[in-house]
Structure formats: structure tokens, C-alpha cells
Amino acid sequence: MRERLTRPVAHLLPTLVLAGVSLAAWAAWLGWDQHRDVHPDGSTTGPYEAWQVIGLVLTLLVPVCWTASRHHLAGTVLGPTVGLTLAAYSDWSDDSSGLFVIGVGLVMIGSLVTTLIVSAVVTSMRQRPRR
């Protein structure tokens, strides 16, 4: 009886851990930079710089590859997708135009596709016979 109860928790744990890691990584890399940069010609950029997004991606690449190599494929794909989607929603939901929903959707689709590709590559490398 006890084994049947702990089994679903063991399958859900990688998803929850990766979602938490993704939320923490978003907060560390992107959460502190909330202002747009105004250039002398009046144009604005930001609030994030390219190096912040690259840092976020590289930070998440390590746990995603690790869980994919352990064959926790559902957690590998769903954890970062859920975490980054929640982080983007909470970070951008104060936008009065409502266009933040499109950005959140793009974050969700991009993280889903990226984690699927990384998981497939890591799994295929893991299954390849060694010489």
C-alpha cells in the first residue's frame, strides 16, 4: 500500500523541483531588472538584456539535462515550462494593455519546444551504444 502511494510522488517530484528551479532562476536573472532603457533618440529597450536571458537558459540547461539523463522526461519538459510560464505571468501581469498574455504564451511555447528538443537529444545520446 505504501509503495503505491509514494510512486506518484516520485514521478511528480522532478516536475515540481524543476518548476521551482525555473522560478528561482527567473527571479535571479530577470526578476530584479524592471525598468526600460531610454536612448537619446527616444526609443526604449528592455527591460532585459541579452546576457540575462542567456544566463537564464544556461542555468536551466544543467538541471534539464540531468533530469533527462535520468529518464524523467515528463518532468524535464513540464517542470521548466510551468515554472517559466508562471514566472512570466507574475512578472508581466501588471501590463495594462493586456498584451502580456501573448508574451507569456510565447514563453510557454518556447520553453516547451526547447525542453522537448533538449530531452530528445540527451535521451538519444544516452541510448547510443558505446564502443
Which set of grid coordinates corresponds to residue 46? 528592455
pLDDT at 106 over 70: yes
Return the pLDDT at 128: 65
Return the pLDDT at 129: 66
CA 44 to CA 22: how far, in whole Å?
28
What average pLDDT does the segment 107-124 reach?
A: 95
Question: pLDDT tens digit string along 37-93?
Answer: 787 888 877 788 889 999 999 999 999 999 999 888 899 999 999 999 999 999 988
pTM: 0.85
3-state secondary structure of 104: helix
Return the pLDDT at 5: 53
pLDDT at 6 over 70: no
Place of cell 523541483: 17
Return the pLDDT at 78: 95
Return the pLDDT at 2: 56
CA 18 to CA 125: how far, in whole Å?
21
Torsion sign across C-alpha atoms 65, 68, 73, 76:
negative
What average pLDDT does the segment 18-32 reach?
A: 94
Using an 8 Å Cβ cutoff, are 104 and 92 in contact?
yes
- Bigger pLDDT: 89 or 10? 89
Using an 8 Å Cβ cutoff, are 56 and 29 in contact?
yes
